[in-house]
Amino acid sequence: MNPLLLICLLLGIAARRYLTFPEQLVPSINWWLITIALPCLIITLIPHTVITKESLVPIAGMWCVFIGALGVALILGKIFSWSKEVIGVVALVGGIGNTSFMGYPIVESYYGASGLQIAVIADQVGSFIILSTAGVITMTLCAGQRPTAKMIIKRVLSFPPFIALCVSIVIKPFNGLPEFLETPLAQIGATLSPLALFCVGLQISLRPPRGVIVPLFSGVIWKLACAPLIVWGVVSLTGSTGLTQQVTIIEAAMAPMIAAAIMAQRAGLQPALANAIQGYAILLSFLTLPIWHILLVKSF
């Protein structure tokens, strides 16, 4: 992980332990991240993404992770009588990976600039679109309401990252925004990762929330172990290059996307569970990602 991000995470943990902070600090940071920072990031990145036939492999890989997490959440939810809120958290947090802020530097360090280009596709056309569409629908369906089609459509259309995604598609033929607009928006978008990890640190507790041990470890095990293994099996059937397959698998093995956990928290979907899955997965990914890399190097 980028040292800056690790420092932000540790600062948040230290602030939780040794300092007092306003009760509304975490919700306020989350509002900024979802409403301002993430849309700015999407608008400045997606218009410059080039899609090829080979690009379909990492995109499909990210959808496999999400659909698999949703399936796991529904099946285990039926077995253990989980609430809709718990099912939603496991699906959202376990199904969308941190394929950019953790993914980019890790992939670049393992596979260089060529691997980074593949990671950008997995993130921008895979994870971000899943978050802005299927993620919002899942969040709405599991929010404890009885959503109608109109409510779901309204929630998706009014979700700031989805609006940013639509704007990105419109301006893509023009190669994005003019530089005088794109530069400051990119700087605003850059606040997402350090602020988000600081916010994660503020909420991390090594003592798991009561009553959610099974969904906690289900989400973590799926995201760090089962998802990359299944994606490995899927991409091996595609006939794509070894580099594309390796990057797709490593991206599938990333810890949960911070924005997905924030979405779950803002929707009231078991905030403590969402933060616990995210926090434990981030910490454990320091061990699991090098293991996956070693396995891939030996296999390819």
pLDDT given for residue 1 in this prediction: 56
Nearest to 66 by CA among 141, 168, 125, 134: 134
- Please, are residues 175 and 5 in contact by the beta-carbon 8 Å criterion? no
pLDDT given for residue 297 in this prediction: 94
Question: In this predicted structure, which of 21-30, 163-172, 193-202 has the lowest mean pLDDT?
Answer: 193-202
Q: Is the per-residue pLDDT at 60 higher than 80?
A: yes
- pTM equals 0.82
Stronger pLDDT, 96 or 260, i.e. the higher one: 96
CA–CA separation, 202 and 129 (whole Å): 28
CA–CA separation, 92 and 219 (whole Å): 9
pLDDT given for residue 266 in this prediction: 78
Q: Is the per-residue pLDDT at 237 higher than 90?
A: yes
Average pLDDT over residues 205-213: 78
CA–CA separation, 274 and 76 (whole Å): 17
Mean confidence (pLDDT) of the chain: 89
Q: Is the per-residue pLDDT at 151 higher than 80?
A: no
Stronger pLDDT, 235 or 271, i.e. the higher one: 235
Average pLDDT over residues 44-48: 84
Average pLDDT over residues 271-286: 88
